[in-house]
Amino acid sequence: MPNPILETRNLTKIYGQNIIFKDIDLKVNEGETIVIIGPSGTGKSTLLRCINLLTSNDGGQIFLDGKEITAKGYDEDKPRQRIVNEDKVRQQIGMVFQNFLLFNHLTALDNVLIGLTKVKKMSKEQAKTKAMEELNRVGLVDRADHYPGQLSGGQQQRVAIARALAMDPRVMLFDEPTSALDPELIGEVLGVMAKLARDRMTMLVVTHEMGFAREVADRIVFMEKGSIVEEGSPDDLFYHPKHERTREFLWKITELYGKKEKGKADGK
């Protein structure tokens, strides 16, 4: 077994009296696509934010490439320097948000470029070449000069993916990337993500898109009420779930998904 790129041990998050999630053990190996599913409010999004250090954990540890990124305190040799530089860690973990969060005052190109020039300190020319490559990867070279306000939701999300990819992250986190999209725009975003998975990008995806989970995921993790109920290959979870709750959830969401499809067809 290779060492996992990303690993959480007993990861716990508590808001006041509420336990958001508790003792989450998760291993993500290089090139793997892991899909996290589960009902709303079970801490899936908070888990991703926690892994990206956007919110602090209240217990447990997170390791990136075998190094603990949740380590607290200061280096003995350099007492003024935190053991973990959060900004450096985030550079290595790409994040895609439900509501895109593109920088509204910048064109698509500049959205992708700004991290390269300001964070990676690349020259403008180098950064532009790299940014155009990333836009090409999501099929939006012809929209490089458009502002977010001039792009459709699907296009905005693809730019957001390019923005994260440009930093050459070790892992990409997707937080319900298609939940805010019109049904007809979901496909283009899932298509880009499926392509990334084929290129062996390491991905951790929170989504309700069961079709995507079944076809693209190497492993599916079912979370409920702050814990991992079950994890396994798509075949295992969809056709031979061990837990009653997994079966129930999958049945419900597939039914919902089916109804949505039917509703769309009726509308025509």
Partner 1 sequence: MSNFFSYIVQGTAITVAVTLIALPFGLILGLLMALVHTYGGKILNRLAAAYSLLLRGVPPIVLLFILYFILSGRVINLSPFWAGSLSLGIVSSAYQMEILRGALLAVGGGQMTAARAIGMSRLQSIRYVVLPQALRIAIPPWSNEVSIVLKDSSLVYALGVPEILRRAQQLSATTQEPFLAYGTAALIYFVLVFATNRALDYLSERTKLPTHS
Task: Please return the burial class of 71, using the count of CB atoms within 10 Å of its CB with bins 0-12, 13-18 and 19+.
Answer: middle
- Choose one: 61-69, 72-80, 147-155, 179-187; the region binding partner 1 (CB under 8 A): 147-155
Measured from the CB of residue 105, what is the shortest distance to partner 1 in angstroms? 5
At 150, list the tokens.
């001039």
The partner residues of 93 in beta bridges, in order of sequence, read: 171
**What distance in Å separates the CA atoms of residue 91 and residue 201, rounded to the nearest whole number?**
15
What one-letter code names the amino acid at 62?
I
Q: With beta carbons less than 8 A apart as the criterion, state whether 7 and 26 touch.
A: yes
**Piece of 9-17, 63-71, 99-107, 134-142 that binds partner 1 (CB under 8 A):** 99-107
6 binds partner 1 (CB under 8 A): no
Instruction: Tell me how far, at minimum, the Cβ of 150 lies from partner 1, in Å.
Output: 6
Residue type for position 263 = G
Helices (H), 107-230: 108-114, 124-137, 153-165, 183-198, 210-216
The residue range among 158-166, 176-184, 188-196, 202-210 that interacts with partner 1, by the rule CB under 8 A, is 158-166
Residue 150 touches partner 1, criterion: CB under 8 A: yes
Token representation of residue 197: 């998975």
Applying CB under 8 A, does 124 fall inside the site for partner 1? no
Whole-angstrom Cα distance, residue 119 to residue 168?
Answer: 12
Among 10, 56, 81, 104, the residue binding partner 1 under the rule CB under 8 A is 104
Site map 48..77 versus partner 1, x via CB under 8 A: ----x-x-----------------------
Amino acid type, 33: T
Specify the residue, 122 or 228, whose C-beta has the smaller distance to partner 1.
122
Residue 97 in contact with partner 1, rule: CB under 8 A: yes
Indicate whether 114 belongs to the interface with partner 1 (CB under 8 A): yes
**Chosen residue from 67, 82, 118, 240 binding partner 1 by CB under 8 A:** 118
Pairing label, strands 6-15, 18-28: antiparallel
Length of the chain: 268
Strand partners, 204: 34, 173
What secondary structure letter does DSSP report for 74? B
At its nearest, how many Å lie between partner 1 and the CB of residue 115? Answer: 4
- Asked if 167 is part of the footprint of partner 1 (rule: CB under 8 A), the reply reads yes
**CB of 77 or CB of 87, closer to partner 1:** 87
The neighbouring-strand residues paired with 203 are 33, 172
For binding to partner 1 (CB under 8 A), which residues are involved? Answer: 52, 54, 87-88, 90-91, 94-95, 97, 99, 101-105, 114-115, 118-119, 147, 149-150, 160, 163-164, 167
